[in-house]
Structure formats: structure tokens, C-alpha cells
Amino acid sequence: MGEEEIPASLGRCDLTLTSSSSDPRELISTLQTLTSSSDTRELIATLQTLNSSSDTRELISTLQTLNDLTADVPCGAASAEFKSSYYTRTLQVLISRINVDWVQKLTVAQRRDLWDGLFFHGPPEQALLVLMDGLGTLSAGRDHLVDILEEFLRSGGLDRLLWSYCQGQGPRDSPQLREALLGRLAGLPDLTANRLHPHNRELFLPERYCALLANALLHALENTCQALRNGCDCSLVFVAQVLGKVCIHGNSALVFGLLAPRLSLCTRSDVVWQRVSWKLMENVPERWLEPVVTGMVLAIGRPSALSRVLGNLVLKNKKAQFLLTHKMLLLQYHHPTAVLRTILGYLASDRERRPLLIQVLRSVCETWSSPSSVRNTPVEQQLYVSRVLLLSASLLKGEEITLLRSDFLSVSSDDDLTPYDMSCDQELSKATPPRYLSDCMDGIGILTHLIIYFHVQMARVLLHLEDRFSTPGFLSLRHTTMVALAVTDPAPVNVLAMSAQELSQPIRAGEAPNERAALVAEVTSYPGDDPVHWRQVVERRIQGKTRRISKGVTRPPAKGTANRYAPVAGHFFFPLLQNHDRPQVTFDLLGSDHLVLGRLIHTLGLLVHLAVNAPVAPQMGRALLDFVWALRYHADQMVRRGVLFAVCSVFLSMPSESLLTELSETLFETRAWLADVAEADTDADCRSLAVQSLVLLEKSLKRQLEAP
């Protein structure tokens, strides 16, 4: 096979990706198979010497030969073929033998000129790829490779790499290799930090490396401008790809911090620089365009400078147009006002771009006036959109304002409506008007059935009403009115009256509470309600005068009485459940007043327990469970105890059939919660109450299931 017939798949780029072997013997065998030209035979002999010889002088001569092949001065077909096809594999062989004895015998000058020089004089993209791969695979001799990589960057390796692609001298590489090279260039700080930590070099830090890369990009653009002045063609595709890749890695602020001011200065009076800048931005791949344009807008600072750098990119690229006319103005709202001035000024600075400014104003007006947008967007975004609206409106000219005014007036939705006569309109007072009993009475006179809903509130108002205006017969009027209100629904009044009467009785020393209750019952009863038979009177007198020595004390069987609490249980229970979730000035039940909340739940549980066998008991139990279910995981242990006590009271007071019918949806979930509390709660009383609740629930369910 002749030299000119070497297939492209065996070029240097594909060899870098398809083979990672660094064995010199394999490389020599590959060269012998590929070609038999005289130049290649000399290269084979050189590599054989490098692999097998132990003579230091001969090895130094071999390294010098390889340096001659990589020199910039043309050395024939062998040099061109070596650079294009075998340079990468040769560097891999050198890295694999970096720790052999004869390498250690080289002086510092010889190692710098002969060994390190091979990485500096050849194709820079291949050298960079080999060095980065060597850092990831090599353990011994890594410090030497780090020194070579640092010197490669300091000596302008990035400048040579970018300029070679601008001149078109770069390789015809595959998309995979181009992506790998871009990844190494943009991710060098991250790669070196992962592989060298904690011994990373200062040059490899993001701030230093991005500054170095930005300067390399500027040098490539300067050389391109000079080449265009000299009549030579250049390509900025690779440079634009590098810029986009670096920005997508999150380093746009570091790169444009140096690049944007220099571009703004160079494009001020140089048309060639403007053309180069426009071409650079147009060649950025669309998938990386957003961070590039955003970084440029944030760093450039002035609309005129942005216009010189971007040109009409917003008209040529749909993604740039969406970014500058919609996303940065309507979707994002964290940019400062200076950035908004820059974007809108850029759109308004050119006649061809002014229609986009009108389009932006229309979109902003629609968003700003949309009720849905006002309801569903934060206040900060609404303020941001208002800034955009004011700034864009301030950039309009007279004829544009006239056009927009006619457009908006033509689409008014109120044209078909007859205007209201507002001549006698009265301005409403912002203060809340006072409420009077007379207004309430007028309303009740119209809707008489409302009295059953407001009698309690009106009774409270009348109870605390003062005679401020010396109304004749004030006390009798108030008394008559309160009596009339009490007649409409006497049950709460009776409950309160009985409780007040019981509590108002004085407590004598040694008197038990049940005796006091009996005394109250005796006071409230009439003598004719329970007449005593004469036989009972005689029997009581005989028993009182008879003396018995051996007979024990006889107690009459307990007489069954009706539960006076059952008919009025709901009037005690349900008012306590009202307004528990409304914080008041004095206390907040669901907030910090845990003691009051726990006592309230305990009282509700006691009221449910006392209403056992009452018709309203199932309804009370269900309401109590609904109330305490949201508090079952309360942080305060007293509240949790009250919740568990309330659950026990519900299980005790509700019939078994009511548990299955009324609480069937939540019964199993309640059972699982009680088991969890009994096992994992930190409070011993809570665990004990949970166990008792489980036992009661099991007994009730078992009793219901065993019932015929």
C-alpha cells in the first residue's frame, strides 16, 4: 500500500479514539503493516531504537530525530505522515516509558529540550488529549506530566490549538473526537481537580484557566482579523464551539469578564472586528447559544456595545430571538434594571430590530394586564414586568405610539356598552361603618326567620348593653327583650341556668359534690311531685326505733333515674367545638396554648363519655374524632393524652353497631395509629392510653361480630 493510499480511518484522530495501546512493539508492527515507504522505514528504525536500545547517546539521538520530525520546518513526507498519523501513538509510548532507567539519566536540559519538546512542537490538540488521558491513567510519573501540561498552557499551547483550526490546518476529525477535544478544553479545571486533588496547580483553577482561555480566544480573533486584512480566509467554527462549551459548563461570567470589554473596545471603530464578532456569535451551536448570549448581555453593559458585538443575531437565530424578546423579559425576573435597558436598547438601536421592540411591548402589555398572570405570579415578577413595560414604552417614537394607541382603542371591549351616569355618584367611605341594633331589627323585620340564628348573639349584646342615653324604662325593655329571645330557643338558656344555679350554691365543710347536687335537685323540685305513702312513714319510724345486733346494714337497691344530661348533651358539647381554629387576642388554641387545647380535648371527651346511650352520642363521637384526628401527632404530650382519652371516650360511649356504621372509613386507620402509639410513643401515659383504646376497640368489634 502506498503512502497516498492510507485510509482516513487510520489517521491520527481515529487512532486516538479506537486504540489505547502504548506498547512500542505493537506500534512498530502496525507501521510495518501499513506502508513500506523509505520515510516510514526510517521511522520504524527510530522507534525500534527507542524501545530496545540502552545506550544513552543512541537514545538521545533517537529523541532528536523525533523532535526533527515534529519541528515546524518541513522535513519531507516522513514528517507530515508522522504528524498526521503516528504522533499520538508515539506520545503514548513515551508516557508509558516515563519511568525507565535511561529516562532518569537525562539531564534537566536534555529532558526539557528532547523529551518535553515533543509535546510542544507537534500538533497541539493531540498533545493536549494525550496529556489529559495520561493524567487519568498514570500513577507513577504523574508529577512530570503535570509539569508538561502546565508548561504547555503557559507557552501558548491554547493559542496554537485555536489558531490551527482558524487557519483550516486542523484535522478532519470525527464528531466524537471533536466532542472529546471540546470536553477536555472546557472541563480541564474539573478534570484536573478530580485527578490531582489536593495537589492541584494554581494555573488549573477555574479563574486562572478561564482567563488564559479567554486570552487565547482573543488572540485567535486578532489573528483572524489580521488574516482577513491580508486577504486570507479563516474559520471561526471551532472557536465558537469552544466558547459555547465553556459557557455551558457554567464559566460564562469568568470568560466574558475579559472577553466582553475587549470586544466592546475593538468593535467601536473597526468594521473587521465587528464582522468577526458577528460571525463568532452566529457560529455558536444552538444548544449552547443561551449561556453565551446571556453571559454577553450581562457583561457588556451598554446597548450600543451589544449591538456592535451581536449585530442582527436576534433576527437570524430564532433561539436568540426567543431569549432576548421573551425569556429574559417575561419568564425570568432576577435580572437588574441595567440588563433590561441593555436588551431593550439593543432592540431599539436598529431600524430592522425595532419591530421586535413593538412585539415585546405587545407581549408585555398582555402579560401585565392578564388577570391570570396577576393571580399566579409572585409580586417580584409583576414588578419586573412593570419595569420592562415602562422601559420599552420610553423607547417608542411618536408614530409608533400613535399606531399602538389606535390598535388598542380598536380592540376595546367596552364599545357596545352605554356609559353610566356618574354625575351623582358618592364616594364610599373606606372606614367600616358602625353596626346598630336598629339596623339589625330592620333586617329581622324583613326576614323574620333569621331570629332563630341570631338570638344568642343578640342576647349577649343586650346583656352588656349600657343605658348611655337615659332611655325611659331601659331595664324593663332589656328584660322583656331578653325573655323574648330566650323563648325562641330555651334549651341553651336552661342548660346555663341549671349550671349557674348549681355552681352558685355555697359549699359547706364536709359536703360531698353529690350531696350538693341532691340539694339543688331538692330545691328545684315541688313537694307535690312525690307524695309519701303512710305505710312508708310507719315503716321508717319502726326501723328507726328497733335495735338489731347481728343483722348487717341493709341498703335499699339503687333507684333508677333518668339521665338529665342526655337531652342537653349537644348544647354542652357542640358550642365548645366552634371556632377552635380561629386565633384570638387572649389565646391561640392551635398555636402556643397547648395547655388550654389539651384541657379542651379532655373536657370534650368527658362530655362524650357522660352522654353514653344518648341518641346524640354517635354524632358527638364522630365529631370528636374528626376534631382530634388532626392533632394525633401533636408535639405536646398533654395534647396527645387528651386525644387518646377522647378516643377512649368515643369507644366507650358509642354502641358497637354505630362504630361499624359511622366510623367504618377511619376505623382501621385509627387502629393502626393506636398500635403505633402503643409501640413508639415517648410518653408512658400515652402508650398506656393507646393500649386501653385498642382493648376497648377489640372488645367492641368482637361483641358486634358475635352478635346474632
Q: What is the mean pLDDT of residues 68-74?
A: 62
Tell me what pLDDT residue 520 has: 40
The residue among 121, 109, 41 whose CA lies nearest residue 81 is 41
Contact residues for 478 (Cβ-Cβ < 8 A; gap 6+) = 462, 465
The residue among 264, 258, 261, 224 whose CA lies nearest residue 240 is 224
Tell me what pLDDT residue 189 has: 93
76 with 39: CB under 8 angstroms?
yes
Tell me what pLDDT residue 182 has: 94
* Angle, CA 89 vertex, CA 85 and CA 94 arms, to 5°: 140
What mean pLDDT, rounded, does the chain reach? 78
Q: Residues 183-208, buried b or exposed e (16+ Cβ, 10 A)?
A: ebbbbbbebbeebeeeeeeebbeeee
The CA distance from 429 to 674, in Å, is 56
Tell me what pLDDT residue 505 has: 53
Per residue in 156-175, pLDDT (tens digit) is 999 999 999 998 876 667 78
The residue among 619, 628, 617, 620 whose CA lies nearest residue 693 is 628
156 Ramachandran zone, left/alpha/beta (phi>0; psi -120 to 50): left
* pLDDT, greater one: 581 or 377: 377
Joined grid coordinates for residue 317: 437565530
DSSP state of 377: S
The CA distance from 450 to 460, in Å, is 16
Joined grid coordinates for residue 502: 348549681
Percentages of the chain per state (helix, strand, coil), in multiples of 5: 70, 0, 30
Tell me what pLDDT residue 385 has: 94
Q: What is the mean pLDDT of residues 390-399?
A: 88
174 with 14: CB under 8 angstroms?
yes
Q: Is the pLDDT of residue 367 over 80?
A: yes
Q: What is the mean pLDDT of residues 33-56?
A: 58
Q: Is the pLDDT of residue 525 over 50?
A: no
Q: Is the pLDDT of residue 19 over 50?
A: no
Cis peptide before 198 (omega within 30 of 0): yes
Q: Is the pLDDT of residue 39 over 60?
A: no
Tell me what pLDDT residue 610 has: 85
pLDDT band at 499 (very low <50, low <70, confident <90, very high): low
247 with 206: CB under 8 angstroms?
no
Q: Is the pLDDT of residue 534 over 70?
A: no
Per residue in 279-322, pLDDT (tens digit) is 999 999 999 999 999 999 999 989 999 999 999 999 999 999 99
Residue with cell 503512502: 3
pTM over 0.75: no
700 with 656: CB under 8 angstroms?
yes
**Which range scores top for mean pLDDT: 282-286, 413-417, 485-489, 696-700?**
282-286
76 Ramachandran zone, left/alpha/beta (phi>0; psi -120 to 50): left
Q: What are phi and psi of 283, to 5 degrees?
A: -85, -5
Tell me what pLDDT residue 405 has: 75
Q: Is the pLDDT of residue 254 over 70?
A: yes
* pLDDT, greater one: 470 or 550: 470
311 with 281: CB under 8 angstroms?
yes
CA dist list (Å): 187 to 146, 171, 243, 365, 463: 16, 21, 12, 43, 81
3-state secondary structure 12-57: HHHHHHHCCCCCHHHHHHHHHHHCCCHHHHHHHHHHHHHHHCCCHH
The CA distance from 193 to 557, in Å, is 93
Tell me what pLDDT residue 167 has: 87
Q: Is the pLDDT of residue 472 over 50?
A: yes
Q: Is the pLDDT of residue 522 over 70?
A: no
Q: What is the mean pLDDT of residues 251-270?
A: 94
The residue among 190, 99, 177 whose CA lies nearest residue 136 is 190
Tell me what pLDDT residue 574 has: 85
Alpha-helical runs (H) found in 187-251: 188-196, 206-229, 237-246
Contact residues for 448 (Cβ-Cβ < 8 A; gap 6+) = none
The CA distance from 76 to 233, in Å, is 26
DSSP state of 448: G
Q: Is the pLDDT of residue 521 over 50?
A: no
Tell me what pLDDT residue 426 has: 73
Per residue in 101-142, pLDDT (tens digit) is 556 666 667 777 777 777 787 888 888 998 888 887 766 678
DSSP sequence for 105-130? TS-HHHIIIIITHHHHHS-HHHHHHH
Q: What is the mean pLDDT of residues 332-361?
A: 94
Joined grid coordinates for residue 391: 422601559
The residue among 371, 297, 296, 387 whose CA lies nearest residue 337 is 387
Instruction: Give the CA diameter of the chain.
Output: 151
Report which residue type is found at 248.
I
Long-range contacts of 349-358 (CB under 8 A, 24+ apart): 349/303, 349/304, 349/307, 350/307, 350/312, 352/312, 352/315, 353/312, 353/314, 353/315, 354/400, 356/314, 356/315, 356/321, 356/325, 357/392, 357/395, 357/396, 358/396, 358/400, 358/404
Joined grid coordinates for residue 323: 431569549
The CA distance from 473 to 480, in Å, is 11
The CA distance from 336 to 338, in Å, is 5
Q: Residues 327-345, buried b or exposed e (16+ Cβ, 10 A)?
A: ebbbeebebeeebbbbbbb
Tell me what pLDDT residue 339 has: 95
CA dist list (Å): 267 to 156, 225, 303, 434, 698: 25, 11, 13, 71, 87
* pLDDT, greater one: 404 or 493: 404
Domain ranges of the chain: 1-155, 157-311, 365-406, 572-706
* pLDDT, greater one: 420 or 679: 679
Q: Is the pLDDT of residue 369 over 80?
A: yes
228 with 234: CB under 8 angstroms?
yes
